[in-house]
Chain A
Amino acid sequence: MHELLVLVLASVLTLYLGIRYWRALLWSASRQRLSEASRELGEWIDGPHGEKSLAVVCALLRVCPKLERGSDRKLVAVSVYDRLLGVIEKLWPQRGGERNPWIAAERRACAYFAAIMLDQRITRTSQWYAGQVTNSSS
Chain B
Amino acid sequence: MLGPFDFVVWLAGFLAEVFVLAWAVRDRTMLRYRSLLVYVAALAVDEVLSFVILRRYGFTSNEYVYYYYYSEAVLTLLMFVAIMGLCSRMFREQQRSGVLRVFTLVVLAVVVLYAAAVTAVKHQLLATRFAGEFNESLYFTGMILTYALWVMLLRRRDPRLRLVLVISAFGIYFGGQTMTYTLRALFPAATSLHYLLALMGAWLPLSLAYSFYKVSEEARVPLEQLAGVW
- On chain B, the residues within 8 Å of A10 by CB distance are 140, 143, 175-176, 178-179, 182
A7 to B193, CA, bound (A): 14
Tell me, rounded to whole Å, the shortest Cβ–Cβ distance linking B143 to chain A. Answer: 6
Contact A6 B226 (CB under 8 A): no
When A6-B178, A7-B182 are in contact, do A21 and B214 touch as well, CB less than 8 Å? no
Does A17 lie at the interface of the complex (its beta carbon under 8 Å from any beta carbon of B)? yes
Does A92 lie at the interface of the complex (its beta carbon under 8 Å from any beta carbon of B)? no
With most chain A CB atoms within 10 A of its CB, the pick from B146, B150, B164, B214 is B164
Interface string of B210-227 (1 = CB under 8 A from A): 000011000101000110
Interface residue tally on B, bucketed by range: 20 to 34
A13 to B225, CA, bound (A): 19
Contact A24 B226 (CB under 8 A): yes
8 A Cβ contacts from B134-188 to A: 136, 140, 143, 146-147, 150, 161, 164-165, 168-169, 171-172, 175-176, 178-179, 182-183, 185-186
Interface string of A17-33 (1 = CB under 8 A from B): 11111011101100100
Does A126 lie at the interface of the complex (its beta carbon under 8 Å from any beta carbon of B)? no
A14 to B182, CA, bound (A): 14
- On chain A, the residues within 8 Å of B171 by CB distance are 13-14, 17
**Contact partner of B168 among A4, A21, A102, CB < 8 A?**
A21
Interface string of B59-88 (1 = CB under 8 A from A): 000000000000000000000000000000
- On chain B, the residues within 8 Å of A31 by CB distance are 219
A4 to B172, CA, bound (A): 19
- On chain B, the residues within 8 Å of A102 by CB distance are 228-229
B-side binding surface: helix, strand, loop or mixed?
helix
Q: What residue in chain B is nearest A14 (Cβ atoms)?
A: B175
Contact B164 A24 (CB under 8 A): yes
A33 to B207, CA, bound (A): 24
Does A64 lie at the interface of the complex (its beta carbon under 8 Å from any beta carbon of B)? no
Tell me, rounded to whole Å, the shortest Cβ–Cβ distance linking A77 to chain B. Answer: 14
Q: Which 7 A-B pairs have the closest CB atoms?
A: A14-B175, A17-B171, A21-B168, A10-B178, A7-B182, A10-B179, A27-B225
Please list the residues of chain B having a beta carbon within 8 angstroms of any beta carbon in chain A. Answer: 136, 140, 143, 146-147, 150, 161, 164-165, 168-169, 171-172, 175-176, 178-179, 182-183, 185-186, 207, 214-215, 219, 221, 225-226, 228-230
23 contacts between A and B (CB under 8 A): A4-B186, A10-B140, A10-B175, A10-B176, A13-B147, A14-B171, A14-B175, A16-B230, A17-B171, A17-B172, A17-B175, A20-B164, A24-B165, A24-B168, A24-B225, A25-B165, A27-B161, A27-B225, A28-B161, A28-B214, A28-B215, A102-B228, A102-B229
